[in-house]
């Protein structure tokens, strides 16, 4: 049987996992345990579990980049961190911290968010611009080539039409 020194035994233990996980665009709920890294798509509800064992009183808190995480869509629920409706702002490294009287232990996970444009919004936006590009104005009787440049989420669209002037 292994034994621990009194100072180590009085610290909590975070039960971490290992490995990387990737969830697809149809996965609206994702769950990992601290220590694992994860890739999710925008809109996913992500839970990062932080199981802690301890024989002494402890407090769990979450940080990212040295700051507390309880803001916006990221909230601590019990020992876990739950991020609802995730987007690129939440693509960070998260640290679960367990503090006891004799010190603190921590484990980290990295969250990556895939950069998928909202296709419905993009489609509506482009449809509006294409409709605009191909509208006709027959007020004068002279044909003229009119070209429009449209930028939508980094996609450049060029439209041309013959127009009576």
- All domains of the chain in start order, with CATH: 6-113 (2.60.40.10), 119-164 (no CATH)
The DSSP string of 109-135 is: EEEEE-----HHHHHHHHHHHHHHHT-
pLDDT digits (tens, 9 = 90+) for 40-99: 999 999 999 999 999 999 999 999 999 999 778 999 999 999 999 999 999 999 999 999
- What percentage of the chain reaches a pLDDT higher than 70? 64
Relative to beta strand 29-33, strand 45-49 is: parallel
Task: Decide if pLDDT at 110 tops 90.
Answer: yes
Task: Decide if pLDDT at 3 tops 60.
Answer: no
* Distance (Å, whole) CA 114 – CA 20: 15
Which has more confidence, 95 or 135? Answer: 95
Which distant-in-sequence residues (6+ apart) come within 8 Å of 8 by Cβ? none
């Amino acid at each position: 049987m292994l034994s621990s020194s009194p100072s180590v035994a009085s610290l909590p233990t975070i039960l971490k996992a290992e490995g990387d996980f990737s969830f697809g665009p149809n996965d609206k709920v994702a769950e990992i345990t601290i220590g694992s890294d994860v890739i999710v798509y925008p809109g996913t509800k992500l839970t990062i579990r932080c199981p802690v064992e301890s024989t002494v009183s402890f407090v769990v808190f979450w940080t990212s980049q040295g700051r507390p995480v309880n803001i916006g869509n990221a909230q601590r629920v019990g020992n876990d961190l739950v991020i609802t409706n995730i987007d690129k702002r939440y693509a960070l490294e998260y640290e679960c911290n367990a503090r006891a009287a004799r010190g603190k232990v921590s484990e980290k996970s990295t969250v990556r968010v895939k950069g998928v444009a909202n296709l419905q919004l993009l489609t509506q936006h482009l449809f509006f611009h294409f409709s605009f590009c191909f509208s006709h104005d027959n007020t004068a009787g002279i044909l003229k080539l009119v070209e429009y440049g449209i930028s939508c989420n980094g996609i450049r669209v060029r439209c041309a039409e013959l127009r009576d002037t």
